[in-house]
Amino acid sequence: MSSWFKRIKQGIQTSTSEKKEAPDGLWHKCPNCKKTSTVRDLKEHYYVCDKCNYHNRINSAEYFEILFDNNEFEELFSNIYPKDFLGFKDLKPYGARLIDAQKKSGLKDAMRVGAGKVEGNDLVVACMDFAFIGGSMGSVVGEKIARSIDHCIAHKMPLMIISKSGGARMMESAFSLMQMAKTSAKLTQLADAKLPYISLMTDPTTGGVTASFAMLGDLNIAEPKALIGFAGPRVIKETIKKDLPEGFQSAEFLLEHGFLDLIIDRKEMKTRLATLLELFKK
């Protein structure tokens, strides 16, 4: 990869503040069809390749910009930071890993929550950031979802969670596992309050995220071609000792097997979402 491609790729995966300062005329090469386009064009196309419809991975900043009217939203619970409670150390201490990830991504952890309007409809969006340790779910993600649900109930607002995650964060051990229980338990309260919960699964949504809040939407939606599954493809391949069929664990595969309500292109996401939110209200 030449250096300017790399820069753009990083630009997409790092914070918006950095990207806004990036001069126009930088180039992006589609990882799928290799078509090159300017970053500005790519952004105008919602980070979707205009030739092959490949949905590039984007973070919360981009989703908020795409979904919220005039990119106006109130960021909630931004005062919550991760902590290395267990003193976990693999090849690197978790504490140092957190600091590195924060520096590299400009994020505090793998989820940000925004409250705003989508074509005039109130919505709380809790969005995972894959750029932060693979979007792994630890205590901060669980707590932000829990508080988002409280906020939705207090303000009678629907909730959308955008999943993009490799699964539970191993470095938080059983605490990360229990976030599956915590988020699902809180979702029962949202359900009791009869407030819509829309789960949007994006590439990739796997592991403990799939086996908890991602699959529990009143509506389960996905972006095209997103990888969605419980076990990762590599693990399954090793278990069954066979190659996996084409398109296995893709959004289209899940739709076909009955686990999604619909697949929505990112460029239509806002309009379709607004329609759905209005249908719940009328």
Partner 1 sequence: MQFLDFEKPIADLYDQLEKLKENGAKSGVDVTATVKEYEQKISTTRQELYDHLTSYQKVLLSRHPDRPYTLAYIEKMCTNFVELHGDRNVKDDKAMVGGFAELDGETVMFIGQQKGINTKMRQIRNFGMANPEGYRKALRLMKLAEKFNKPIVTLIDTPGAYPGLEAEERGQGEAIARNIFEMVKLRVPVICVIIGEGASGGALGIGIGDRILMLENSWYTVISPENCSTILWRSWNFKEKAAEELKLTSDHMSRFGLVDGVIKEPLGGAHVNPDEMAVILKQKIKETLAELKKIDADTRIEQRIDKFSNMGFFEER
Which of partner 1, Zn ion, none does residue 32 bind (CB under 5 to 8 Å by kind)?
Zn ion
Q: Which helix (H) or strand (E) holds 121?
A: strand 121-128
Could you write out the DSSP letters of every residue in 100-150? HHHHHHS-SSSEEEEEEEETTEEEEEEEE-TTTGGG-B-HHHHHHHHHHHH
**Annotated binding residues for Zn(2+), as ranges?**
30, 33, 49, 52
Angstrom CA distances, 78 to 1, 117, 178, 190, 277, stand at 35, 19, 22, 22, 26
CB closer to partner 1, 52 vs 244? 244
Residue 99 found at the interface with Zn ion (CB under 5 A): no
| Footprint on this chain of partner 1 (rule: CB under 8 A) | 79-83, 85-86, 88-91, 138-140, 142-143, 146, 168, 170-182, 184-189, 207-208, 210-216, 228-231, 235-236, 239-240, 242, 244, 248-249, 257-259
- The nearer residue to partner 1, 174 or 279, going by C-beta atoms, is 174
Q: In this complex, which beta carbon is closest to Zn ion, that of residue 218 or of residue 223? A: 223
Establish if 15 lies at the interface with Zn ion (CB under 5 A).
Answer: no
Q: Determine if residue 156 is left, alpha or beta; phi over 0 gives left, psi from -120 to 50 gives alpha, anything else beta.
A: left
Q: State the minimum distance, in angstroms, from the CB of residue 7 to Zn ion.
A: 19
**Least distance (Å) between residue 48 CB and Zn ion:** 9
Q: Which does 210 bind (CB under 5 to 8 A by kind): partner 1, Zn ion, none?
A: partner 1
Nearer to partner 1 by Cβ, of 28 and 182: the residue is: 182
Give the whole-angstrom CA distance, residue 65 versus residue 69. Answer: 8
Pairing of strands 121-128, 73-76: unpaired
Residue 154, token pair as written in the block: 């207090």
The binding site comprises: 30, 33, 49, 52
30 binds, among Zn ion, partner 1, none (CB under 5 to 8 A by kind): Zn ion
Parallel/antiparallel/unpaired status of strands 111-118 and 121-128: antiparallel
Q: Cα 196 vs. chain centroid, distance in angstroms?
A: 18
Q: How far is the CB of 152 from partner 1 (least distance, A)?
A: 15
Residues between 41 and 70 with contacts to Zn ion, criterion CB under 5 A? 49, 51-52, 54
**DSSP-derived secondary structure letter, 245:** P
| Smallest separation, CB 154 to partner 1 (Å) | 15
| Cα 141 from Cα 159, distance rounded (Å) | 15
**Rg of the Cα atoms in the chain:** 18
**Of residues 26 and 80, the one with the C-beta less far from partner 1:** 80
Which residues of this chain interact with Zn ion, rule CB under 5 A? 30, 32-33, 35, 49, 51-52, 54
